[in-house]
């Protein structure tokens, strides 16, 4: 068993409205910043013990499927690093 | 001018309580997952035009200072890639 950190990045599927990101973009523009687009994503950094990096990735994948992401509106990515 | 994407990652300083992350960790544990720790971070992907990658990073840095992060409780990192 080794210590891994799995990073799960959850983002809205393209086409799904993101009012929070729009508000943030407008607030930045009101402050005088010029930007073409702004997207917001949630990231979960999960420390876990696993047999291998693949096993850690599988587990994080299952966490995303079951709780962290909503498959109707979200895409997610999993990346694993050893601690 | 070129097109860049600046990624601003905002995380709570260590020692600052994160009730959302705690709740998420407990929910995963109730589902039967074993994990040592879970941290959540916010990420903003900002598309902008700039003279150079450094200029894009400086601008994203200023956005983080002025709006995206609260320096009392947050640390942030900026990464820039060309689009």
- Cβ within 8 Å, pair A42-B38: no
For residue A80, pLDDT beyond 90:
yes
State the ipTM, two decimals. 0.87
CA distance A60 to B37: 13
pLDDT of residue B41: 95
Residue B45 distance to chain A (closest CA, Å) = 5
* pLDDT classification of A7: cutoffs 50, 70, 90: very high
Q: What is the pLDDT of residue B16?
A: 94
Over residues B39-74, the pLDDT tens digits come to 999 999 999 999 999 999 999 999 999 999 999 999
CB distance A40–B45 less than 8 Å? Answer: yes
Does any CB of chain A come closer than 8 Å to the CB of residue B23?
no
Q: Minimal CA–CA distance to A3: which of A43, A44, A45?
A: A45
The structure tokens 């047999």 sit at A51
Mean pLDDT of all residues in chain A? 95
A35–B46 CB contact, under 8 Å: yes
Long-range contacts of B23-31 (CB under 8 A, 24+ apart): B24/A44, B24/A67, B24/A68, B27/A67, B28/A63, B28/A67, B31/A63, B31/A66, B31/A67
Q: How many domains does chain A have?
A: 1
Domain, as residue range, for A11 = 2-82
- CATH code of the domain in which B14 resides: 3.30.1280.10
Q: What is the predicted pLDDT for the residue at B1? A: 81
């Amino acid at each position: 068993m080794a210590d891994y950190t799995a990073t799960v990045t959850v983002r809205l599927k393209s086409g799904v409205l993101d009012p929070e990101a729009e508000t943030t973009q407008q607030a930045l523009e009101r402050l005088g910043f010029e930007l073409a687009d702004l997207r917001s994503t949630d990231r979960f950094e999960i420390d876990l013990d696993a047999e291998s990096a693949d096993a850690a990735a599988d587990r994080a994948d299952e966490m995303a499927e079951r709780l962290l992401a909503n498959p109707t509106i979200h895409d997610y990515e999993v990346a694993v690093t050893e601690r």
